[in-house]
Each structure stands twice: as structure tokens, then as C-alpha cells.
Amino acid sequence: MIDRIKALTERELAAIFLSFIAYVVGVLFLLVTGMLFTFETLTEGGEATMRPLFDHMSWLLILALPLITMRMISDEYASGTVETLMTAPVSDAEVVLGKFFGTFLFYVALILSTLVYVVALAMFSKPDLLATAYGYLGLLLLGALYASVGLFASSLTRHQLIAAVLAIAILALFSYAVDYLAMIQGGAWRNTLSYINILHHFKDFSKGIFDTKAIVFFVSSTAFFLFLCVKVMESKRWR
Amino acid sequence: MAVKDSNRATNVGSSQRFAIGANVLLSVVLAVGLLIAVNLIASIKSYRSDLASVGNYGLSDRTKNVLGSLEKDVKLSLLYEPDEGDKAQQERIARMLDYCAELSRFSGKVSYQHVTSDRQRESLVAEINKNLSSEADAHKIALEDFERVRGRAEADLVTRYTEAQAILANNESWLGGFPLFTQVSLALDKLKEASQEAAEEIAELTPKTGIPKYGEAVTRAQGTVETLAGGFSQISDLMGRLTQLASETSKPDSEYIALLRGVSTDLRDVINNLRAQVGPAGSDPPSDVKKALKGYADACITTGAALEDLVARVDRFSTAFPIVQEHENWTTQVPSRVFSQDVMMQVEVAGILQDMGRSLSKIRLEVLGVIDSGQKDDLALALTKARRNVDALEGYVQDCTNILAGLADSLSSVDPASGSLLQDSREGGLFGKLVDDLNQVKAKFEDLPELKLADVADQLKDDNAVVIECGDQLRVVGFETIWPARPAIPGLQDDDPAETERTFNGDSALCSNILSITSDKAFANVVLVAYEPAAPQQQSPFSPPPARSSLPLASLSKVTTTLEDANFNVEQWNLAESKDPPEIDNDLDTIHIFLPPAPPQPPNPFNRQQQPSPMFGDAEREIVQKILDDGGRGIFLASWTITNAPFGRGLMASPYGYNPLLESTFNVRIDNGVRVMNVTPDPRTANAFFINALRFSYMPLIGYADHPVTSPMQGTRSLADSAAPVLVLDDSETTTNDDATTQPATSDTTHTTLLEIPDREEYISADIDSFIQIANEVNSSRGDGALNLGRPLQRGPFKLMVACEKPASDDRTTRVIVAGLAACFADQYLNNKVPVSLEQFRSESEPLENLDLLLNSIYWLNDTPELIGRGPVPVPRIERIPTGSRGYIQAFFWAIWPAVVLAPGLFLWFMRRR
């Protein structure tokens, strides 16, 4: 099973690296984060912390990752290769995991490319490397969740654009919409809405606060959306 | 397997489809349930820890300890007015909310709410008002009592004022004859106005809605009580004396009225004898002028004696009733010459009579001289002068007779209106009952407990504040406390930034307040030990002013309030007044803060026989030594001070009275010969520097050690004035200090440097001569602040704070902190905003962060370092980026790096196209 997932991951990773859109997304992501970094973080007398950039990345990725994942499954539907995939000796879960890991590895590469900011910061100050590393761990968990949502959205439609919009909408719902609702609600509702706010949990990582609750949230949510994605794939068989 | 499933799936029937669909649905529902369960468990059993080494966002250990031991619920209300356009404000609010969320996440007993609209603020105020009402119950009752008495007083004042006006309108009134009564009338009116004004102000201070300022209202009422009681007493006293007079003079057989009439009658006869001797004015001179003049001279004696008798009779009246002298008829206007000018002078009747007597003796002597000479012309001239004198005397006598008769008439007849008022004054005094009641109210005010929440109303007016409520306790933490000014980075940041940069100190600020309002018992006693001899009662203008401590007890109200707010029991001890420590009725440990003793009184160069002034010396040091020997804990505060040298020999640095003790016990001393100061070096010239007038008095303190006391100060803007370095002496070193030779301490003393200004060119030390040059430049309006002392500047490092520990008896450790920073704890230093730009008149908040240094020291000395606040976290800053590098950095991040990432993509895309 692991071999099959590994093979699928490699296939998807190669597909992403060979797609022009991934590079466009990557370059745009680096351009925007680069500007934000030089304007907001790398300022004389400013605090030597990556936290503001992490916070910016968290919303930038809401736009960026769905653009990477949008074609993952919808393109299989549109091009008809899903039939081949269904007849191949792999389960739906393996297919979804392969695509997920492929996306995730590309995302890891993208995030690793932002380590140059940390290097630049270290050249002019002494940033807290442990807190920074933990922030990066948060970015990875955040990316995993975004990727799983993106895959789920992609599994719902054969149109890439719709998949991207759908993923962005879901992510926006679980970050900004619930944040707004939590603001206007009180009591238990506020707590519940705050809890399902993705960015609320990510803030702990960007602040350097280790909280098992946040880790469980990201891992379980990622697993849940991947599970939904598998179920959607399965439903294609009997519909 | 998947192939088989796939084939089967394409041929599923509707029932199978339903079954599979139901299966999928069920599994999704189960997955949702599992997701919720896992997250629920994770949120109940979670582990949370701050990984950041700068500890910026999590809770400090102290806060966790405090929250962990909370027994009552604590509610935080965040007051702010959201401003969408103010990014800095939004960031601060977000940060504050994050922190409150952390507090509430850590402890279920902490909750927080946003107060952003006027309506929410009003409802918070109403809630606080409700909670505060019990604390201010005694104040409310006292104010109600005051209002009752004040109301009665005002009513009485209105009545009496109306009566007085009616009396004054009647020209014939008995009381109207006393000009003093007009002043009484005016005083009644003024008291009435003062009473009304007080009522209005107190009503404003204690509104029905909003937070009443009972403390201020009571203070205002106390002032009014004193004004009213004082005014009433004076009026009652005056009216009492008038009543006594009226009682006497209105009697039909009044002795004194008879006296006045008698004097009036007798006065007419007194002059007749004189007239008989010299004859009427204008008549022919007698044949024997000499004999006539001789008779006149003799008559002068008898007339003078008669006048003296009359004066004595009048004086008897005025002695018995001094108030009678205030009657308008008691005096009259007589012409007089002052500096060759004719003026009218107001003179008493008795005075006129006395003058008449004196003039008679003078004329008599002149007449006798003329008689002795025997010259005919002179005798004729003397006769003429004598006749003129008798004319004048007759005029005076006539005046006095009229005055006395009129006085007797007016005093003997009391009109009904005056009589009524005087009658009221007779029965228990005019305002006697009111004065008693006011004094009772005053006594109640004095017994009122201090209101801890007195300034809540003012604090709630701030746009940004946090209200902490716990039961009936409440604290308001202001914006400046939560967001103090960030310490400047010397040489990196602009000396005059457009906006004050701030740092987050919420953890320390909120936790300190939560700690103090949730603690039922004081942490320790803090005794402020001073040596302040009383100033001589009669100060000669030639004496030099009395020497004062650089940190007198009277200037420590801010320190005292801070310590009390932090739950310490604060006492004062003036060694110059009592050799015994203050009695403290608790079993808590005591921390002493030894304030700089007043320096010796300079001798008076004009008084060789003077008594030596009381002086801090061995007796006082022995008392302190005993405290330390018993394992005492304390802080020795000193600062660099200058005094006038004796005999006008300029200025000298004041010796530090505790130096002998510190040397012999702890091997440290204050180097009172130099002052540490902050300057801006002039890179163009050696030994030259610029003096910044603002930094002269507000020297930024840097170099805090990683020690429980000082590590929280590393991210804090703390400032000092008149800093004196602390010297740690070698064991072998024997020093001769200002007033004693001391033996070095034994080597069992451990020294820990808490604050040491590093060797930086911005910090120098100046001796008295250098200081005078620098101070002259600072005070000069023409200078540009540039100075060159012509000699190398003494650079650091300078120790400003040193902790000393040594074993004491009973397994205790004597522990003291010696700091050359006394001046920065004085009220006048802490109560003034810190100027940051003279050109723009811009200033930052008061340097209250200094108090944290004192508070941390006390916690450490009390063996409770866990209660020391974390302070603002010193987040590492980005240093200066070379101007040229900035462009390269931007080019790299905006173009090169994205291009590097894009390049493989382009290459692959191109290859695939081919």
C-alpha cells in the first residue's frame, strides 16, 4: 500500500512540477511575501520575528493552495483519466493520499523557499529560531489542511475553476466568516466558532505557543477532509 | 480488488445504490462524530506551552501561579474605541485580546469582555457603581449628613442675611452703628454662596448615573465644613460680643451709658477753667498778662488731670466691652498734618482727649518759658496762642461731647430688628448648634476609611484601559501601564521619533493587579527609613537653608501608593525623631528602604556660638547595623547630590551617610564624588560631546543583568537622574571615606551586579567641576550643547545597582541592594511626563517603570521572586541595515529569488513545448 501511495505521490509531484501554474503560483507567492517581508518585517529597529509574515502567509495560502490542488482530481474527471484510475489496482484512499502527498511535498518545497527570509533576518538580528521553526511547523500543518480541503473541493467537480473557488470559499468560511460570526456571537457559540476557526489555531503556531489542541485540530481536520474526498471518489462509482 | 469493485459499481441496482449511499452517509456521520470527539477530548486535555524564548505571547510563570491559585472569579473588561484607520491601535487591541484569551484559556475563573461602545461603557459604569456602593457606604452616609447640615446652614444663612440687610437699611439701627456688621452681612452672603457652590460640586462628583467620586466629594465637603464652621464661629463670636454690649447698654440704668453721659457732661466743664484764665477770644488782653498766663499754666495742670480722669473712665468702658470701639461713633475725623499735608485722621474719643492733655502740658511749658523771660511782646503773643489753643480745645471738646452723647444715645436704644438678632445670638449663639453639627460631620469625615477606588471614575475616562473586577475589588489598568514606551536603542533609533513606540507589558501589569486584588493578606511590611531632622523654628536670614535629603519622606507618595497597591504594608520611620522602629502589629517580614540621610547642616558663618545641628552619624548607623545583623533585608538608596560648601566656598558633593556601614558590612560604597550621565559623543573632536538637555535629567538605563530583579527591566524604558555609581571594594582595600575610616568587610559577602552601564561612549561620569561646566551648558539658552572639557572623559562601566548577601544569625541571610538611583523614585520625578522633543513640546508618559525596579527588589528581598512580573519582553530588534544593502535586499526578494524559483518551471515548460 505504501509503495502504491509512494508511486502515486511521485507521479503527482512530477505533474505539479511540470505544470506552469504551480510556478506562477509559487512566484506570485514569493513576490508578495518578499514584499511584505522587506516592508514590514525587515525594518530597522523592528522586532526580529517572522510572526507577521506567518500571519500574512496564512491568508495568502488560502488563495495559493487551491490553485495548486484545483486540477488534482477535477482534471481526472474532465480528461476521463479517472476511469483509468478507477480500474487501476489502487484504492480510492491510495489515490487521494498520493495526490495529497504530492501536493504537500510541493507545498513543502514552496515553504522551504521562504527560509531565505529567516536567513536575512538572522543576518541583521537574533530571531528566536525555536519559535520560528515552530511557526514553520504550523505552516506545514496549515498547508496540509488547505491541501486536503483543496482536494476535497477538486473531487466535487470536473471544473478546475469551480474547484478552486469552492476550496477558497470553504477555507474562507472556516477562517474569516467564522471569525466574524464569533465576534458578533457570545457565550458558547463564540467558543465553538472560535474553535473551528483555522487561523485561530494557526496563531498559536505563529506566536510560538505549543498547544496539543491546535495540532489535533489540524491533523484531524486534514484527515477528515481527505476522508470526505475518498468518500466522494467512492460515490462516483455507484452514482 | 479495485477492478472488481469498479466493475461491480457500474452495475449496481437502485437498492444496492441506496445501501452504498447509506453506508457512505453513515461513515461520514461517524467521521464527523469522531472528528468532534477527538477535538473535544483534545480541548479538555490539552497541553499548552510557550516555546518562544522571548516569551512574548504566552503567560509568564508568575501569571500561571497567580491564576492557578485563584479562588474567586476575575472579570476583565477591555475598554477601547475601535478605529479602523489606526493600524497601530488595531494591532494593540489584537494583542490585548490574544493575551486575555490566553488568561481565560488558562483559568476558567478568568473571563473577559469587550467594551467598545458608549452604551457598553455606560453599562459597565453602572455595574461598577453597583459594586462600589458597599465600599463607599460610609462616605455616602457622611455626605448625606453633610448635606442635611449644609441645607440647614444655607437656610439659616439666607434668613440671617435677609435680616442683616434689613438692619443695615435702617440708618438708626443699633447694629447698623457698627461698620463691622456690614462685614458680617457680607460674610453671611459669602458663606451662603460657598455652601451653594459646594452643594453643586458635590452633586457633580456624585452623580446618580456614572461612577461617583466619593473620595473627592468628601474632600470637597470637608473644605466646606471647615469654611462654614470657621465663618460661623467668627460671626457667632462677634455677635456674642455685640449682644453682651447691647445687654449692658440697653438697660435703663446702664452703668456705662451713665458713664458716657457723665464724661460728656464733665468734659464741658473741663475747658471752662482755661477759658476763664485767658479770657474770651478777641477780647482785650487783661491788664496783667503775666498773671493771666500763670493762671493758665496752672489751669493746664488741673485740666490735664481732669482729662486723664475722663480718658480713664472711657477706657474702662472700652476695656469692659472692647467691641464698643468698633462703633462708628467711637471715633471721629480730626484734621492732622502728615508730611506737610493736611489729612483727616480717624481718631478715638479717648485719643482726642489724650492729645488734648499732651498739648496742654506742652503749651504750659512754653508759657512758663515766656513768663520767665518777662518780655512784654512775648507775653502778648503767648496769650494769643493760649487763647487760640483754648479755642481749638473747645472745638474738640464740643466734638467729643457730641460723640459721647450720640454714642450713649445710639447704644442705649436697640431697635426691634437688631434686638431680635441679638436675642438669637444670646441664646446659644447665632450658629452655635450648626457649628456643633458641622464639627460632628467633620469628625465623621475624618474617621472615613480610605477609598481604594477613588480614582476609578477618572481612569475610566481613558480611551484604552482594562478594568479588573474580583468580588467587590476593582482596579483599572491604564493604557500607559499596559503599553509603556519602548526603550530607545542608543545610536540606532531616531532621538525624536514621530510617534512613541510602545511595548506590551500586559502580562506584568494585569497579573500584578489581579494578584493584589485577590490577595487577602499583605505580602510584607515595607519601612521607609529616613533621617530628617526638624528645621529650626526660628531660622535666621543669615543662616544657610537647612540641609535636606535628596529623597525626603514627603516625596515618596508615589512609591508608597505603588507598594500599597502591590499589597505591601508601608510604614515610615524617621531616625531623627525616633530611635525605635514603628510598631507593626503583624508577623510579616519587614523590608527596609533606607533613604539617603539628610547631609550635615552647613555651619552658620555669622554665628560663632551656634549649637551643633543634629547630624546623621554613628548612632543611626548602629541602629541600622543591628537590623542588618539580625538578618534584615533592605535597599540602600543614594544619589549624587551637591550642597553649598561652608563659608561660601562654592559647591561640594554631599557625603552619603551610610557609606561607613556599607563598607564595613558589605564592602561596597556609593561613589558620591561623581555623577553618571548620558551624552552624545562628538565624533569629530576628541573629548568633545554634546549635552542633550532631555537626557541630562532622563538618562536611559541600560545594562540590566539577568537576575530576577532586573531581567524584567531589560525591555523596559527606565530613566534616571543624578545617578551615583556603586563601588565594590576589594577585601584588602581599606578606605577612608567622608567621615570615618572603616574596616573592610569580611569576605563572606557575595556581590551581584544588577545594573551596570556598559563601557559605551554615550555614558560618562562627571566630577563636581565637570558637572558645573555641563550644567551651565544645559542651562544656557545660547549654547548648542557642545562641550569639550579638555580632558579625557571617564567612561564606564558604572555599577548603579549591586546586591549584597552575607550569612547572618539564625540561618538567615542578610540581603541588601545598594542603588545609586534614589532621585528617580521621587514624586517630582515620577509625576512629570518625560519630554522627548523640546521643539515640538512632545512628551511621553511619566517614568513609572522605575517603580518596577523597586518593586522587583522588594519581592526578591522578601524571598518571593516568583511574584516578580515578567516585564515587557525584550524582543530582539533588527539592527541598522547599511543603506547600500537595502536596495540589494529588495532586488533579491522582489526579483532574483522569485526568478530563481521560476527558472526551472520556465525551463521545463519550454522543454515540454519542444
Of A16-20, B316-320, B455-459, B675-679, least confident by mean pLDDT is: B455-459
pLDDT, position B339: 57
Rounded Cα gap, residues B558 and B540, in angstroms:
34
Q: Which residue would you say has higher pLDDT here, B803 or B363?
A: B803
Rounded Cα gap, residues B251 and B157, in angstroms:
30
Of A193-207, B119-133, B163-177, B451-465, least confident by mean pLDDT is: B451-465
Q: Mark whether B381 and B432 lie in a shared domain.
A: no
pLDDT tens, B821-838?
Answer: 999 999 989 988 888 766
Q: Which residue would you say has higher pLDDT here, B462 or B648?
A: B462
pLDDT, position B843: 76
Does some domain include residue B2? Answer: no
CB contact under 8 A, A34 and B54: no
Q: Mark whether B240 and B268 lie in a shared domain.
A: no
CB contact under 8 A, A235 and B909: no
CB contact under 8 A, B48 and A213: yes
Does some domain include residue B246? Answer: yes
pLDDT, position A61: 95
Q: Mark whether B470 and B617 lie in a shared domain.
A: no
Average pLDDT over residues B783-788: 70
* Phi/psi at B609 (5° precision): -100, 15
Interface test with A, best of B878, B883, B888 (most A CBs within 10 A): B878
Cα B33 off chain centre by: 65
- Nearest alpha carbon to residue B165 among B417, B420, B432, B434: B417
Of B347-351, B395-399, B497-501, B697-701, least confident by mean pLDDT is: B497-501
pLDDT, position B741: 41
pLDDT, position B613: 65
Which chain A residues in 135-194 lie under 8 Å from chain B, judged by CB atoms? none
Q: Which residue would you say has higher pLDDT here, B53 or B412?
A: B412
B902 reaches A (C-beta below 8 A): yes
Q: Which residue would you say has higher pLDDT here, B731 or B143?
A: B143
The angle formed by the CA atoms of residues B156, B161 and B167, to the nearest 5 degrees, is: 130
Average pLDDT over residues B136-153: 88
The pLDDT-based confidence of B623 (bands split at 50, 70, 90) is very high
pLDDT tens, B797-822?
Answer: 999 999 999 888 767 789 999 999 99
Rounded Cα gap, residues B701 and B796, in angstroms:
13
Q: Which residue of A has its CA nearest to B98?
A: A203
pLDDT, position B782: 59
Q: Mark whether B516 and B529 lie in a shared domain.
A: no
Chain A residue numbers with beta carbons less than 8 Å from the beta carbon of B901 are 23, 26-27, 30, 113
Q: With contact defined as beta carbons under 8 Å apart, do B865 and B874 qualify?
A: no
Rg (chain A; Cα; Å)? 19
CB burial of B411-450 (b: ≥16 within 10 Å; e: otherwise) equals: bbebeebbbebbebbbeebbbeebbebbeebbebbeebee
The pLDDT-based confidence of B353 (bands split at 50, 70, 90) is confident
Residue finishing a domain among B412, B438, B466:
B412
The pLDDT-based confidence of A107 (bands split at 50, 70, 90) is very high
* Residue B591: all three cell numbers together: 523590608
Which residue has 500586559 as its cell numbers? B506
Q: Mark whether B131 and B141 lie in a shared domain.
A: no
Average pLDDT over residues B162-168: 91
* CA distance to partner chain B, nearest, from residue A20 (Å): 6
Of A23, A37, A90, the CB nearest to B2: A90
Work out the mean pLDDT of chain B and round it to a whole number. 82
Cα first-last separation, chain A = 26
For residue B155, count other CB atoms closer than 10 A to its CB: 12
Dump the DSSP string for B90-104. Answer: HHHHHHHHHHHHHHH
B880 reaches A (C-beta below 8 A): yes
pLDDT, position B738: 44
Does some domain include residue B53? Answer: no
Chain B residue numbers with beta carbons less than 8 Å from the beta carbon of A128 are 52-54, 876
pLDDT, position B831: 87
The pLDDT-based confidence of B103 (bands split at 50, 70, 90) is confident
Q: Which domain holds residue B214?
A: 137-250+423-447
pLDDT tens, B252-292?
Answer: 888 888 888 888 888 878 888 888 888 887 778 788 888 88
Q: Mark whether B591 and B730 lie in a shared domain.
A: yes
Q: Is the pLDDT of residue B691 over 90?
A: no
For residue B804, count other CB atoms closer than 10 A to its CB: 23
Does some domain include residue B878? Answer: no
pLDDT tens, B228-249?
Answer: 988 888 888 888 888 888 888 8
SS3 call for B145: helix
pLDDT, position B604: 57
Q: Helix A129-156 vs helix A92-112: angle between axes, to the nearest 10 degrees?
A: 140
Which residue has 455606560 as its cell numbers? B122
Of A65-79, A224-238, B119-133, least confident by mean pLDDT is: B119-133
Of B52, B98, B492, the CB nearest to A131: B52
pLDDT tens, B479-488?
Answer: 888 888 777 6
Rounded Cα gap, residues A5 and A96, in angstroms:
9
Q: Mark whether B404 and B430 lie in a shared domain.
A: no
Q: Is the pLDDT of residue A219 over 90?
A: yes
> Across-strand partners of B696?
none
Average pLDDT over residues B421-426: 84
The pLDDT-based confidence of B611 (bands split at 50, 70, 90) is low
Does some domain include residue B384? Answer: yes
Which chain B residues in 470-529 lie under 8 Å from chain A, judged by CB atoms? 489, 492-493, 501
Q: Mark whether B590 and B734 lie in a shared domain.
A: yes
Q: Is the pLDDT of residue B460 over 80?
A: no
Q: What is the pTM of this model?
A: 0.65
Work out the mean pLDDT of chain A and round it to a whole number. 89
Cα torsion through B574, B575, B578, B581, rounded to 10: 80
Rounded Cα gap, residues A18 and B510, in angstroms:
55
Q: Please return the burial class of B104, using the count of CB atoms within 10 Å of its CB with bins 0-12, 13-18 and 19+.
A: middle
Rounded Cα gap, residues B235 and B188, in angstroms:
8
| C-alpha count within 13 angstroms, C-beta hemisphere, residue B91 | 11
Rounded Cα gap, residues B865 and B709, in angstroms:
8
The counts of H helices and E strands in chain A are 13, 1
For residue B831, count other CB atoms closer than 10 A to its CB: 13
Residues in Cβ contact with B440 at an 8 Å cutoff, skipping those fewer than 6 apart? B145
Instruction: Report the domain count for chain B.
Output: 6
- Nearest alpha carbon to residue B721 among B850, B854, B561, B855: B850
Residues in Cβ contact with B441 at an 8 Å cutoff, skipping those fewer than 6 apart? B142, B145, B146, B149, B221, B225
Q: Which residue would you say has higher pLDDT here, B903 or B1?
A: B903
Dump the DSSP string for B536-563. Answer: PSS--TTSPPPP--SS-GGG-HHHHHHH
Q: Is the pLDDT of residue A166 over 90?
A: yes
Does some domain include residue B171? Answer: yes
| C-alpha count within 13 angstroms, C-beta hemisphere, residue B169 | 7
Q: Mark whether B617 and B719 lie in a shared domain.
A: yes
Q: Mark whether B528 and B617 lie in a shared domain.
A: yes
pLDDT, position B648: 59
Chain B residue numbers with beta carbons less than 8 Å from the beta carbon of A208 are 50-52, 56-58
Q: Is the pLDDT of residue B605 over 60?
A: no
Q: Helix B214-249 vs helix B137-169: angle between axes, to the nearest 10 degrees?
A: 30
Average pLDDT over residues B642-648: 68
Q: Mark whether B33 and B180 lie in a shared domain.
A: no
SS3 call for B347: strand
The pLDDT-based confidence of B183 (bands split at 50, 70, 90) is confident
The pLDDT-based confidence of B521 (bands split at 50, 70, 90) is confident
pLDDT tens, B731-753?
Answer: 544 444 444 444 455 568 889 99
Do strands B473-478 and B465-470 pair parallel, antiparallel, or not at all (unpaired)? antiparallel
Does some domain include residue B205? Answer: yes
Q: Is the pLDDT of residue B4 over 50?
A: no
Rounded Cα gap, residues B742 and B625, in angstroms:
14
B312 reaches A (C-beta below 8 A): no
Do strands B642-644 and B834-837 pair parallel, antiparallel, or not at all (unpaired)? unpaired
SS3 call for A111: helix
Average pLDDT over residues B79-86: 78
Q: Is the pLDDT of residue B458 over 80?
A: no
Sign of the alpha-carbon dihedral angle for B226, B228, B232, B235: positive
Q: Residue B408: in which H helix or E strand, if any? A: helix B376-412
A113 reaches B (C-beta below 8 A): yes
Per-residue HEC secondary structure of B466-525 comes to EEEEECCEEEEEEHHHHCCECCCCCCCCCCCCCCCCECCCHHHHHHHHHHHHHCCCCCCE
Q: Is the pLDDT of residue B493 over 70?
A: no
Does some domain include residue B1? Answer: no
* Residue A151: all three cell numbers together: 482536494
Q: With contact defined as beta carbons under 8 Å apart, do B602 and B547 qualify?
A: yes
Rounded Cα gap, residues B292 and B698, in angstroms:
92
The pLDDT-based confidence of B789 (bands split at 50, 70, 90) is confident
Bin B810: left if φ > 0, else alpha if -120 < ψ < 50, else beta.
left
Of A22, A207, A227, the CB nearest to B56: A207
Q: Mark whether B594 and B656 lie in a shared domain.
A: yes
Chain A residue numbers with beta carbons less than 8 Å from the beta carbon of B51 are 130-131, 134, 208-210
pLDDT, position B6: 47
Average pLDDT over residues B424-441: 82
Interchain CB contacts (distance < 8 Å): A and B: 184
pLDDT, position B739: 43
The complex's ipTM works out to 0.92
Q: Is the pLDDT of residue B575 over 50?
A: yes
